């Protein structure tokens, strides 16, 4: 999108952030009138409409044929995650619940991974995956039922293809064992590098507990609550590494 040096550029980024965050919450196209009225931007809906059109031309947004509103593209989500996403914190009660599971099973590694994966899935309402180095092809997978609950995913064949991938341990290991260059690596849409998963996103982190290392991942739709997932994954990975 270019450097953030002008008021217009900042306005474009603000509107992109609104479209992404609003679409993540509501799963419906976001229109110019809604943005102008709800977010008090001191600009007309016509100006917002022009900015939305420019963002679409640049590949950050698109629009369904049946609506004048816009929805984010994978490129739009990527820009949002890299530049616009706010950091949020888990609630203290949520932290306590996860920490209690980690403490309860800290001397039983497999149970620890099972319970932690389940707790993370319950917290995010997405599928969670844990692999441990040295466990050969064993993977701990929780929350696969969430895949069929994405409101934007209405293609049964697509859902079946995703579920088949989740059932193939080797392909899952390939997905989550790619090089990690950050505390959390996020793959969005086509970055998943599997055609069957291009409607999904995945956040992955590494952990190392008492010499036992592995990966923990959260898999959801491209319309993932990235801020909440990142916060939860960072917290869980840090607990597992204690």
Residue with tokens 């994978």: 74
pLDDT tens-digit map of 46-100: 999 999 999 999 999 998 877 779 999 999 999 999 999 998 889 999 999 999 9
d(Cα 85, Cα 65) in Å, to the nearest integer?
28
Query: Has residue 155 got a pLDDT over 90?
Result: no
Position with higher pLDDT, 197 vs 169: 197
Read off φ and ψ for residue 71, nearest 5 degrees: -130, 155
Of 62, 47, 63, 64, residue with least CA distance to 12: 47
Domains in the chain (CATH in brackets) are: 7-84 (1.10.10.10), 92-240 (3.30.450.40)
Tell me what percent of the residues of the chain surpass a pLDDT of 70.
Answer: 98
Of 203, 196, 179, residue with least CA distance to 81: 203
Structure tokens at 50: 């022009």
CB proximity list for 139: less than 8 A, separation 6 or greater = 129, 130, 131, 169, 172, 173
d(Cα 101, Cα 57) in Å, to the nearest integer?
48
Structure tokens at 53: 């059109």
**Burial zone of 155 (CB within 10 Å; 0-12 exposed, 13-18 middle, 19+ buried):** exposed
Q: Rounded to the nearest 10 degrees, what angle do helices 92-104 and 226-240 cross at? A: 30
CA distances for 203 relative to 32, 61, 184, 200, 213, angstroms: 31, 22, 6, 10, 17
Residue 164: how many CA atoms within 13 Å on its side-chain side? 10
Altogether, the residues listed in the chain come to a count of: 242
What pLDDT is recorded for position 170? 85
Residue with tokens 């505390």: 183
d(Cα 173, Cα 127) in Å, to the nearest integer?
15
Position with higher pLDDT, 40 vs 45: 45
What letter does residue 70 receive in the DSSP assignment?
B
Q: Give me the mean pLDDT over the 161-165 stretch.
A: 91
d(Cα 44, Cα 118) in Å, to the nearest integer?
47
CB 91 within 8 A of CB 99: no
pLDDT tens-digit map of 192-209: 988 889 999 999 999 987
Q: Give me the mean pLDDT over the 139-164 stretch.
A: 89
């Amino acid at each position: 999108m270019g450097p953030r040096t002008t008021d217009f550029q900042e306005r474009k980024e603000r509107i992109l952030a609104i479209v992404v965050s609003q679409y993540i919450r509501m799963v419906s196209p976001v229109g110019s009138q809604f943005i102008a009225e709800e977010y008090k931007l001191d600009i007309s809906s016509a100006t917002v409409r022009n900015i939305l059109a420019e963002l679409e031309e640049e590949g950050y947004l698109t629009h369904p044929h049946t609506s004048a509103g816009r929805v984010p593209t994978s490129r739009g989500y990527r820009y949002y995650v890299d530049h616009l996403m706010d950091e949020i914190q888990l609630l203290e009660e949520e932290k306590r619940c996860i920490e209690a599971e980690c403490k309860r099973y800290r001397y039983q590694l497999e149970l620890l991974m099972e319970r932690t994966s389940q707790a993370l899935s319950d917290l995010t309402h997405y599928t969670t995956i844990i692999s441990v180095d040295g466990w050969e092809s064993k993977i701990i997978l929780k929350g696969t039922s969430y895949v069929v609950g994405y409101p934007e995913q209405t293609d049964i064949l697509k859902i079946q293809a995703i579920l088949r991938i989740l059932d193939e341990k080797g392909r899952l290991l390939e997905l989550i064992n790619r090089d990690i260059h950050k505390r959390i690596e996020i793959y969005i849409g086509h970055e998943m590098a599997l055609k069957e998963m291009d409607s999904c996103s995945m956040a992955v982190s590494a952990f190392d507990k008492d010499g036992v290392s592995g990966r923990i991942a959260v898999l959801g739709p491209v319309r993932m609550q990235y801020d909440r997932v990142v916060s939860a994954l960072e917290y869980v990975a840090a607990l597992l590494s204690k």
